[in-house]
């Protein structure tokens, strides 16, 4: 009993000491307010133990991201070091040379660290989003081979074409006729979610329709991602870990959401195995993995969830920014419309219509340059062993 009580006192002691230190520091410093974000172009001084905690107090995660982006864009090196409280300093960089060094030239030397795994493993399991080294390479090659297969490529084209012509365009026409205001971001999320689900495991939830049905699975999936990311941004990780241990608060909601996702994935995998002879299921990514023996149930669930995230969230984000930018640039809009009107395709296939549309392709590429679908990625350098050689 004494040992348990002593352990429980440790968090209280840490909080007390932190509060005392904050009181001492705040006598000579003030937290950054929202009105100051646009004026400051460098990080304030970090303090012992609490790091930059004072600088970020009172700001939301979106405001912190906006502020750091501004600092990185105005810094000569495009690189800053952020000191979290009680944690290891993190390097934030927007320097193209550094980004290429980490994500391309020396990709294998930078991996997802233990913090990344702790944050996302409950949701993504042992998938591409949490693994490194040989495990990551095998999964990456497996997924790559499936998506480069000609049958799968044709299937993807057919799914996208069908989803656009039979669901998206009729809905937009209906909304225009009824003079309805629509949430374009929500609509694009529904569209990409329907598409990636059918490509991944041969099931279309049908979230794009004139009635806009309740997108339960999509909502649960989105909530799971947001709750997982909230762990990543937690100032005191011990808090969310304690909540997970006692199954309370946001951690309880996350656990319930993940359970729904896993049950849904299990049901779809079971359906694929029982009905593996239908055209759609033979061409879906998961059915091919099962057929080729590159599958066990746990890995299948992890990969399904990863496929949905990779295909749905990134695509809908890129498309949302694209239409927002086009709406703000009348000249670009007119050039895209001109290119569309100049296309003369006998076969009304959306994929065929896109071929050769260089201006539209450039506009999409510029959109993703300005607003990357994955704006932040976390990497940790592998430890290096140094050998000191003495004189012979």
Q: Which domains does the chain have, with CATH numbers?
A: 25-105 (no CATH), 138-311 (1.10.630.10)
Note the pLDDT of residue 283: 60
Half-sphere exposure in the Cβ direction for 243 (13 Å, CA): 18
- Whole-number pLDDT of residue 350: 58
Beta strands in 252-301 (DSSP E): none
What would the two tokens of residue 9 be?
Answer: 């006192």
Contact by Cβ (8 Å): 298, 125: yes
Quickly tell me which residue has 């026409």 as its tokens. 173
Tens digits of residue pLDDT in 129-178: 888 877 777 777 766 766 666 666 677 778 888 888 889 999 999 899 98
Residues of the chain with pLDDT under 50: 1-8, 12-13, 17-29, 279-281, 385-392
Side-chain half-sphere exposure of 330, counting CA atoms within 13 A: 0
How big is the chain by its Cα radius of gyration, in Å?
A: 25
With H, G, I as helix, E, B as strand and everything else as coil, classify residue 51.
Answer: strand
* Burial of residue 10 (number of CB atoms within 10 Å: 0-12, 13-18, 19+): exposed
Region for residue 133 given its phi and psi (left: phi exceeds 0; alpha: psi -120 to 50; beta: otherwise): left
- Interacting residues of 273 by C-beta distance below 8 A, sequence separation 6+: 290
Confidence (pLDDT) at 353: 67
Instruction: Count Cβ atoms within 10 A of the Cβ of residue 248 and give its class: 0-12 exposed, 13-18 middle, 19 or more buried.
Output: exposed
**SS3 of residue 166 by DSSP:** helix
> Hey, what are 199's tokens?
């490509």
pLDDT of residue 390: 43
Residue burial 264-281, b: 16+ Cβ < 10 Å; e: rest:
bbeebbeebbeeeeeebb
Instruction: Look at residue 146 and give its three-state secondary structure.
Output: helix
Measured distance between the N- and C-terminal CA atoms of the chain, rounded to whole angstroms:
60
């Amino acid at each position: 009993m004494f040992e348990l009580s002593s352990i429980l006192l440790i968090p209280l002691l840490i909080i007390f000491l932190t509060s005392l230190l904050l009181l001492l520091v705040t006598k000579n410093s003030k937290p950054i307010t929202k009105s100051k974000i646009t004026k400051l172009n460098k990080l304030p001084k970090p303090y012992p133990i609490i790091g930059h905690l004072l600088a970020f107090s009172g700001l939301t995660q979106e405001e912190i991201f906006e502020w750091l982006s501004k600092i990185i864009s105005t810094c000569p090196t495009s690189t800053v070091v952020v000191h979290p409280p009680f944690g290891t300093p993190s390097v934030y960089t927007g320097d193209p040379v550094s980004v290429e060094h980490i994500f391309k030239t020396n990709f294998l030397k930078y991996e997802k660290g233990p913090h990344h795994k702790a944050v996302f493993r409950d949701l993504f399991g042992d998938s591409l989003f949490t693994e490194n080294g040989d495990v990551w390479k095998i999964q990456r090659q497996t997924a790559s081979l499936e998506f480069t297969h000609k049958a799968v490529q044709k299937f993807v084209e057919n799914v996208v074409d069908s989803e656009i012509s039979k669901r998206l365009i009729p809905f937009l026409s209906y909304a225009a006729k009824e003079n309805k205001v629509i949430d374009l971001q929500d609509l694009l999320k529904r569209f990409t979610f329907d598409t990636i689900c059918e490509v991944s495991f041969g099931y279309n939830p049908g979230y794009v329709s004139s009635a806009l049905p309740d997108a339960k699975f999509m909502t649960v999936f989105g909530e799971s991602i947001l709750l997982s990311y909230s762990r990543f941004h937690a100032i005191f990780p011990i808090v969310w870990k304690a909540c997970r241990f006692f199954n309370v608060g946001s951690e309880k909601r996350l656990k319930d959401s993940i359970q729904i996702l896993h049950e849904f994935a299990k049901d779809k995998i079971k359906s694929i195995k029982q009905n593996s002879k239908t055209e759609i299921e033979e061409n879906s990514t998961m059915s091919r993995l099962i057929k080729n023996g590159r599958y066990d149930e746990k890995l299948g669930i992890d990969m399904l969830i990863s496929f949905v995230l990779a295909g749905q969230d990134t695509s809908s984000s890129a498309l949302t920014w694209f239409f927002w930018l086009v709406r703000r640039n009348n000249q670009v809009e007119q050039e895209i419309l001109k290119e569309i009107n100049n296309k003369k395709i006998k076969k009304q296939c959306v994929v065929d219509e896109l071929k050769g549309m260089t201006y539209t392709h450039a506009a999409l590429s510029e959109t993703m340059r300005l607003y990357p679908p994955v704006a932040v990625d976390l990497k940790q350098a592998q430890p290096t062993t140094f050998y000191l050689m003495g004189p012979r």
